Amino acid sequence: MNDLYGSDNFFWRWFAKIADIVVLGLLWLLCCLPVLTIAPACIALYDTVARCIHGTDEHPYKHFFRVLKAELLRGIGISALWGVVGFALVMGYNLLVNMGDGNTFVTVYSMVYLVSMVIPVGIFAWLIPLEARFTNTFFGLHKTAATFAIVHLPTTALLLGIVAVAAVVVFFVPVLFLVLPGIVVTLQCWFVEKVFKKYIDEPQEEPAEEALEEMPLDED
C-alpha cells in the first residue's frame, strides 16, 4: 500500500510529468503575451521538455525561466525577423486570393503558394529546437534550420502535422488551447531528439552534417 502512494510509484511519476507538461504549456502562453517574446518562450519550453520531461533533469519550472532569461535578447530578434516574414507571407497570400476572384489560374497559383508556405514554417519548426539544443551564429542557425527542414522532410512533415491536428482540436474545443502547447512540444520533441541523436552520437555523411560542424551541444 505504501508503494501505491509513494512518490517513486510509476503512476505518480507519470502523473507528475503530465502535470508539468500542462503547467509548462500555461507558462509558455503567459510568456507569449508580449508577442516579441514568442520565440524565447518557445525555446525555453522546448529545452525544458527535452531535458526535464524526456530527460532526467529536475526542477522544470526553474529551468524554463532560466532558459527564457538566457535566450531573451536573441529570441526577441528571432521573433522580430519571423514576425516580418510571416506578415509578408500572409499578405502575399491575401493579395493572391483577392486577385483570384473568378480567375482559375490565380486561384490555382494561390493554392500552390499556400502549399509552398510549408517550407518557411518548416524552417521555423526546426529553428526553435536547434536554438534550444545547440550553439551557433544567428545566420548559421537559420542556415542549419533550412537544411534540416529539407534533409529531414518526413520529420518536418510530422512536426507540422502535430501542430495542424492540435489546431483542428482547438477549433472544435477552444478550451483545450490551455493544455495543448505542452503536449504538442512533448510529441514534437520525441521526433526531433531522434534526429539530433544522429549528429551527437553517430555523425553521418549528410548535407546537414557540414552545417552542424560549428554547433557543439549546449551543455548549460
Is 182 within 8 Å of 28 (Cβ atoms)?
Answer: yes
pLDDT at 79 exceeding the cut of 90: yes
Split at pLDDT 50, 70, 90, the class of 91 is: confident
What mean pLDDT comes out for the span 71-92?
92
Question: Cell digits for 82?
Answer: 519571423
- Looking up cell 490555382 gives 108
Percent of the chain clearing pLDDT 70 (strictly above): 82
pLDDT for 208? 47
Query: In this structure, what DSSP letter does residue 37 have?
Result: T
Weakest-pLDDT range from 21-30, 41-50, 183-192, 210-219: 210-219
Is 75 within 8 Å of 128 (Cβ atoms)?
Answer: no
Identify residue 170 by its one-letter amino acid code. V
Weakest-pLDDT range from 42-46, 61-65, 119-123: 119-123
Per residue in 95-138, pLDDT (tens digit) is 777 776 666 666 677 777 777 788 899 999 999 999 999 989 99
Question: Cell digits for 7?
Answer: 512518490
What mean pLDDT comes out for the span 178-207?
82
pLDDT for 209? 46
Nearest one of 90, 82, 166, 91 to 125, comparing CA atoms:
82
Query: What are 138-141's contacts with CB under 8 Å, separation 24+?
Result: 138/74, 138/77, 140/211, 140/214, 140/215
Is 117 within 8 Å of 88 (Cβ atoms)?
Answer: no
pLDDT at 154 exceeding the cut of 60: yes
- Residue 107 to residue 98: CA distance in whole angstroms: 9
Question: Cell digits for 179?
Answer: 493544455
What mean pLDDT comes out for the span 157-170?
94
Q: What is the CA radius of gyration of the chain?
A: 19
Is 126 within 8 Å of 207 (Cβ atoms)?
Answer: no
pLDDT for 10? 64
What mean pLDDT comes out for the span 205-216?
48
What's the pTM value of the predicted model, to 2 decimals? 0.82
Is 67 within 8 Å of 47 (Cβ atoms)?
Answer: yes
User: Helix (H, G, I), strand (E, B), or coil: what is residue 206?
Assistant: coil
